[in-house]
């Protein structure tokens, strides 16, 4: 059962659009018109909110991959879970798989989780 739970967790966590949420909280009209570029998000919400958003995006990749490595200790399966997290960040479920993010910070989180798991 855990084998199905880890990819599902990666998909659900990966599809949370933290950048869109941050911009939407600040100004609803800008969220609908703004580009997905990191510069437009920085201009809309400011640097502190951007730092928090990037940390949360890294955590979206880190958490499911780290839990997968803790439960299975399988690097190929952890890479699959990380790829699902990145893909669901780029094409979030909540926006009907419309292209949204680029996936860099989520991929960094997944890679760091694998490295941390292998070191410990």
Q: What is the pLDDT of residues 39-84, one digit of tens each?
A: 677 777 888 888 999 999 999 999 999 999 999 989 999 999 999 9
Q: What is the percent of the chain where pLDDT is above 90? A: 57
Domain that holds residue 87: 2-119
- The per-residue pLDDT of the chain, averaged, comes to 88
Q: What is the percent of the chain where pLDDT is above 70? A: 89
What pLDDT score was predicted for residue 36? Answer: 58
pTM as predicted: 0.89
What confidence tier does 33 reach under pLDDT thresholds 50, 70, 90? Answer: low
| For residue 10, pLDDT beyond 90 | yes
Check if the beta carbon of residue 6 is closer than 8 Å to that of residue 68: yes
Question: What's the domain count of the chain?
Answer: 1
What pLDDT score was predicted for residue 94? Answer: 83
Q: What is the mean pLDDT of residues 84-111?
A: 91
Ranges of H-type helices in 15-120? 18-26, 28-33, 38-45, 47-72, 75-90, 104-119
Distances (CA, A) of 66 to 23, 24, 48, 86, 92: 29, 30, 26, 14, 21
Straight-line distance from the first to the last Cα atom of the chain, in angstroms, rounded to the nearest whole number: 25
């Amino acid at each position: 059962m855990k084998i199905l739970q880890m990819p599902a967790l990666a998909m659900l966590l990966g599809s949370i659009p933290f950048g869109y949420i941050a911009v939407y909280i600040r100004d609803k009209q800008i969220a609908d018109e703004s580009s997905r570029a990191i510069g437009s998000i920085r201009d809309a919400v400011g640097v502190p909110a951007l730092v928090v958003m990037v940390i949360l995006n890294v955590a979206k990749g880190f958490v499911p991959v780290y839990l997968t490595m803790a439960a299975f200790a399988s690097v190929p399966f952890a890479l699959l879970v990380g790829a699902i997290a990145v893909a669901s960040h780029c094409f979030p479920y909540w926006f009907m798989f419309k292209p949204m993010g680029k996936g860099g910070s989520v991929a960094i989180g997944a890679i760091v989780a694998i490295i941390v798991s292998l070191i410990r």
